[in-house]
Amino acid sequence: MLELPEILLIDKPLEMTSFDIIRALRRRHKEEGGEGRLKVGHAGTLDPLATGLMILGVGKGTKKLTELVKLDKEYTAEVRIGEQRTTGDLEGAIVAEKEVDQISEETIKNVVASMVGTLTLPVSAYSAIKKEGKPMYKRAREAEKKGEVITDVPVREMTVYEAEVLDSANIIVSGKARLVVTVRFAVASGVYVRSLGEELGRRLGYPATLQALRRTKVGDFSITEAVLLENI
């Protein structure tokens, strides 16, 4: 019999959805002879192209998720400066691009530091926020099939507690100059890091998108405590 704690910390792998994780646990529960449908939920999704800490509630633990979803979070984000995409990450199509000139490390650090505080930013059209009862990403994908682009996106206040440059590197992508800035963001609940990535680009004077994202903390829970799905 598969025995799971009420609160389970998972290190989500690349390209799996949050619901893929839940389905995998339910399948494993059934394979191990568990009775009935495993009751499991999560305290905040991660996009398929994001990795890192997911908090799952199992059984009675699902009752604790309402509070856990409100906890502050920490991310390591790789922001590609020089191109903007429909989804705010590499999954989408390029909608704006500009070759990147040399930007000094001091300028990058100052601009990243300027992002600490409460910002009012547009949310990605591919987010899970609902508008008129339908998740934005569903509206965006329906529009995409028609060759249209969603422009009436919600605007939200997002609080950034800390923003620290971990690395910056000039790269060439398809023959074009780009800059990748790796930033540690400590943020309040409800912050969309794709929005922060695009805002970083705007402040540097360029379009921008997320190249990679990893969630490292949720409240006092750390990625160092998480287990890989295959090790459960």
Please state, in angstroms and rounded to a whole number, the distance separating the CA atoms of residues 94 and 78.
17
At 64 the three-state DSSP class reads helix
Catalytic-residue membership of 220: no
Burial string for 137-175 (b: 16+ CB within 10 Å, else e) reads bebbeeebeeeeebeebeebebebeebebeebeeeeeee
DSSP secondary structure, 97-120, as one string: E-PPPP--HHHHHHHHHTT-EEEE
Which residues, including other chains, have CB under 8 Å from residue 185's CB and lie 6 or more apart? 74, 75, 77, 160, 162, 163, 191, 193, 196
Q: Where do we find the tokens 């906890």?
A: 71
Please state, in angstroms and rounded to a whole number, the distance separating the CA atoms of residues 60 and 7.
9
C-alpha Rg value of the chain to the nearest Å = 19
* Sign of the dihedral through C-alpha 148, 149, 151, 157: positive
Of 47, 72, 101, 220, the active-site residue reads 47
Q: Which residues are catalytic?
A: 47
